[in-house]
Amino acid sequence: MEYRIEKDSMGEMQVPADKYWGAQTQRSFQNFKIGIEKMPCEIIEAFAILKKSAATANCRLGKLDEKKKDLIVQVCDEILAGKLEGNFPLAVWQTGSGTQSNMNTNEVIANRGNAIAGEKLLHPNDTVNMSQSSNDTFPTALHIAATLGIQNRLLPVLDTFAATLKRLEKENQGIVKSGRTHLQDATPIAFSQEISGWRGMIEQSKKMLEAALPFLKQLALGGTAVGTGLNTPKGFGVEAAKAVAEFTGIDFVSEENKFHALTSKDAVAFAHGALKALAANMLKIANDVRFLASGPRCGLGEIRIPENEPGSSIMPGKVNPTQCESMTMVAVQVMGNDTTVGVAASQGNFELNVFMPVIAYNFLQSVKLLAEGITSFHDNCVKGITANREKMAYNLHNSLMLVTALNPYIGYDNAAKTAKKAFKENISLKEACVQLGFLTPEKFDEVFHPEEMI
């Protein structure tokens, strides 16, 4: 491998000749050989958005000339287009402020920009990092990436999922089945009502995520090192947030209290709580689907789901609810991520939180896993759900909890006696009720209508 010599305030470093990063990136790359987790690409893209926004703000405020601003914007657009992939090699497990990833971005933009210009116009610190500090850029990148992930990637997936559930509700109108509580037989429910519960979970989760977005849209940029805004021109934070909003089409704003913005990560903790709530709902829905589809002969078997792949290496013909299992694993991973995000968010010591890279990694993993996991679950399972009407009817009419319909006519205690007798002797509720002398056969038929119990 060929190398070139790059310099920083600590001296010279050998850097791969085919990469645009500089000495500070190289130092981090060599000093933090921990794990396989790299800084998420969403953070790099967010850095590109904020760097071109900062350059635009500096130019508008008279601190940066047009030529240098345009050069920075051009390189940032290359990063966003994926043209500089491979130039961001740093581990998540680095300095807790994300300084090295900020400098990685600064160095790549400066070196690539100078290569385009054919002269040394950009300096990583003095030009690309103008009016900024890692302490306000990383939380800004985190908020941008989190907002884009939720708004552009996850919410559309929830809309699609909810629409499919709405279709399934309509298609299954009129089908009555046994309800279940405590995993035991309960009073009847319409299958469409059961599906509507799933839909309500998705719609509620969407509202919770939307409620978190206004807090994520508040940006720390302009606070610099400790929140005082040292070395920034007046109005920089507002102008930079305005540029971010222009470039993303999302209504980002400058957070008013920069001291809060740098040290507190309450916005991401709150938003991830909504991600955890969604994960909990998805785990419930996936479990319902796989239990309702259990069988094909020895389980509930009340619904049929698509058969996607063989389920066993030893049992011929076996097909498993693999999409449900995948979805539930995604859900528990997100729940685990929530613990990490919550603990990390509590570590805002004095003027800065220094757990930001791990917050970013876990938050963005949760968004990605949920978006892709729900899409897979939807496309390969949920949209193909069909009702096994015969099995639903059979289970409904064999449920002892239909006896609840008799409460108004024979009372709770006598209804309980009827159910217990029917279960013990393996006879119908009608037979038990008549044998106990509570109702005549004619009166039983008159008042007992399971389909009307919903």
Please indicate, yes or no, whether residues 262 and 381 belong to a single structural domain of this protein: yes
Q: Per the residue annotation, which of 123, 182, 294, 399 is the catalytic one?
A: 182
Q: CA-to-CA distance for 68 and 140, rounded, in angstroms?
A: 22
Beta bridge mates, 181: 184
Domain count for the chain: 3
Please indicate, yes or no, whether residues 31 and 149 belong to a single structural domain of this protein: no
Report DSSP letters for 29-98, one per residue: HHH---SSPBPPHHHHHHHHHHHHHHHHHHHHTTSS-HHHHHHHHHHHHHHHTTTTTTS---BSSS-TT-
**434 domain residue, yes or no:** yes
Please indicate, yes or no, whether residues 160 and 34 belong to a single structural domain of this protein: no
Query: Annotated catalytic, 182?
Result: yes
State the CATH number of the domain containing residue 404. 1.10.40.30
Please indicate, yes or no, whether residues 162 and 54 belong to a single structural domain of this protein: no
**361 domain residue, yes or no:** yes
Q: Which residues of the chain have pLDDT under 70?
A: none
Q: Would you tell me how many other CB atoms lie within 10 Å of the CB of residue 294? A: 15
Please indicate, yes or no, whether residues 420 and 288 belong to a single structural domain of this protein: no
Please indicate, yes or no, whether residues 360 and 415 belong to a single structural domain of this protein: no
Please indicate, yes or no, whether residues 413 and 386 belong to a single structural domain of this protein: no
H or E segment to which residue 275 belongs? helix 266-292
**20 domain residue, yes or no:** yes
**345 domain residue, yes or no:** yes
* Residue ending a domain, choose from 96, 130, 164: 130
Please indicate, yes or no, whether residues 381 and 407 belong to a single structural domain of this protein: no
Please indicate, yes or no, whether residues 206 and 317 belong to a single structural domain of this protein: yes
Q: Which domain holds residue 385?
A: 142-217+257-390
**222 domain residue, yes or no:** no
* Residue ending a domain, choose from 108, 130, 152: 130
Question: How confident is the model at residue 175, as a pLDDT?
Answer: 97
Please indicate, yes or no, whether residues 192 and 331 belong to a single structural domain of this protein: yes
Report CA dihedral (140, 144, 150, 152) to the nearest 10 degrees: 180
State the CATH number of the domain containing residue 204. 1.20.200.10
Question: How confident is the model at residue 1, as a pLDDT?
Answer: 86
Which residue type does 445 have? D
Question: How confident is the model at residue 451, as a pLDDT?
Answer: 87
**367 domain residue, yes or no:** yes
Query: Annotated catalytic, 123?
Result: no
Phi, psi of 175 (to 5 degrees): -90, 120
Please indicate, yes or no, whether residues 9 and 74 belong to a single structural domain of this protein: yes
- Per 3-state DSSP, the chain is made up of helix, strand and coil in percentages (nearest 5) of 60, 10, 30
Q: Per the residue annotation, which of 178, 312, 313, 428 is the catalytic one?
A: 312
Report DSSP letters for 156-174, one per residue: HHHHHHHHHHHHHHHHTTT
Residues sharing a CB contact under 8 Å with residue 213, sequence separation 6 or more, in sequence order:
147, 150, 151, 271
Please indicate, yes or no, whether residues 157 and 289 belong to a single structural domain of this protein: yes
Q: CA-to-CA distance for 307 and 324, rounded, in angstroms?
A: 12
* Residue ending a domain, choose from 97, 130, 163: 130
Question: How confident is the model at residue 302, as a pLDDT?
Answer: 98
State the CATH number of the domain containing residue 38. 1.10.275.10
Residues sharing a CB contact under 8 Å with residue 177, sequence separation 6 or more, in sequence order:
188, 189, 190, 191, 194, 302, 392, 393, 395, 396
**225 domain residue, yes or no:** no
Question: How confident is the model at residue 63, as a pLDDT?
Answer: 98
Closest CA to 232 of 58, 380, 71, 59: 58
**245 domain residue, yes or no:** no
